[in-house]
Structure 1
Amino acid sequence: MKKLTLFFLSLLVCGLAFQACDNTKTYAEMLEEEKEAIKAFIKDNNIKVISQTEFYRNDSITDTLKNEYVQLASGVYMQIRDKGSKNPADTVKANDQILVRFMEYGLIQGDTTMSNLGFAEVVDEFNYRVTSSSIAGQFTQGLMLSYYQTTAVPAGWLVPLAYVRDMAHVRLIVPSKMGHNTAMQSVYPYYYDIRKYQIYR
């Protein structure tokens, strides 16, 4: 009986030792870290967050002089720097190819992850897909495709397409759930400066 008790006590001590050495974060802790990183970025950059109601009341425009970003229901924060073409017909449609110039900045690590802004010959391209129940984008070339090894366009990149036209310029704070696969797996938020959504037909 003593040997059995000693065996179970040994197992308990080993289990506690392993648990004490485990310094991985829980999903809840990672979500909290993401929330704090977004909050700090907003504060550090003097961003004024407006509601969707205010955004729609202002004809779907963000005041760049006030550094306004609208917080959308998806969790994405969006600033429209330039709506793009003045022609209302120049909107993104199903099966359009979109050319993008962008910069990606990691909010937790605090540095630029990648950018094609400085390379005239490099552009990211994706196909815009629309079904009765969803929208999606599929990369066909560019840095995002080669770096993250996935054709899936971050859902956060597609959000602005409902509000802008050809050649638009937007800035986005994209939470992990609206990001690329790596962002979702790591619960990591990113900031994007997308200088051009060019419709290529």
Structure 2
Amino acid sequence: MKKLTLFFFALLAVCLAFQACDNSKTYAEMLEEEKDAIKAFIKDSSIVVISQSEFYAQDSTTDVSRNEYVQLVSGVYMQIVKKGSTNPADTVKPNDLILVRFEEQGLIADAYGNKSYLSNLNSPSIVDEFRYTVTSSSIAGIFTQGYMLMTYQSSAVPAGWLVALNYVRDGAHVRLIVPSKMGHQTAIQQVYPYYYDIKFQIWN
């Protein structure tokens, strides 16, 4: 009887050990957590979400006084604070060099309740810079310098940033909520969404 009791205790200990080790979330759970984080940020920030059809009906603008953001097909939420140059020709073109001033805020807290934050706004001598490239099958941005390149050790510009360039011109100011699939490599790997406040300048 004593051996049988010991066996059950040993079995219970093994089961608890396996359960303790299995703390990792599934990809589906991480996606759900991301979705909840974006919803919470939208609610907490009193953001009014409009559809793309409403956005186009407003001449591809968002009403900042109402804190409007358009939800794009890509999953990116975008607010155009300032469309930029009034000259229609001042749009981003292949091989343009883009200078960026930005703030980045993670929308999911770590185990200690902290959310990541990155910005170059307080560094006048450092500006993030990327080259805009276009091929027959895709568009891309390649960081050449700045905090994004140094921090994430990847030259790939978040796809969410590039989506915004379709709607603005030189000197634009936008705010974005970028889901992980449209973010940088770290965002994709960790399934983390990020909020951005960005100013673009075309530097030919």
Distance 1:66 1:95 in 2: 36
Contact 1:103-1:112 within 8 A present in 2 as well: no
Distance 1:57 1:132 in 2: 30
Distance 1:15 1:85 in 2: 66
Structure 1 runs (4+) greater than 3 angstroms displaced: 12-19
Alpha-carbon RMSD:
1.8
Distance 1:14 1:128 in 2: 57
Q: Secondary structure at the residue paired with 1:102?
A: strand
Query: Which deviates more, 47-56 or 16-25?
Result: 16-25
TM-score (norm 1): 0.91
Q: Secondary structure at the residue paired with 1:95?
A: coil
Aligned counterpart for 1:129 among listed residues 102, 126, 133:
133
Deviation at 1:112, TM superposition (A): 4.9
TM-score (norm 2): 0.89
> Are 2:155 and 1:156 aligned?
no
Consecutive unaligned residues of structure 2, counting only runs of 5 or more, are 1-7
Q: Secondary structure at the residue paired with 1:89?
A: coil
State the percentage of identical aligned residues.
69
Consecutive unaligned residues of structure 1, counting only runs of 5 or more, are 1-8
Equivalent residues, number:
192
Which residue identity is paired with 2:105?
Answer: Y
Deviation at 1:113, TM superposition (A): 1.5
Deviation at 1:19, TM superposition (A): 3.5
Which residue identity is paired with 1:170?
Answer: V
Deviation at 1:111, TM superposition (A): 3.6
Alignment of 1:1-201 (within 5 A): 16-21=15-20, 22-109=22-109, 111-194=115-198, 196-201=199-204
Deviation at 1:119, TM superposition (A): 1.6
Q: Deviations over 1:67-91 (max 9, x none)?
A: 0000000000000000000111100
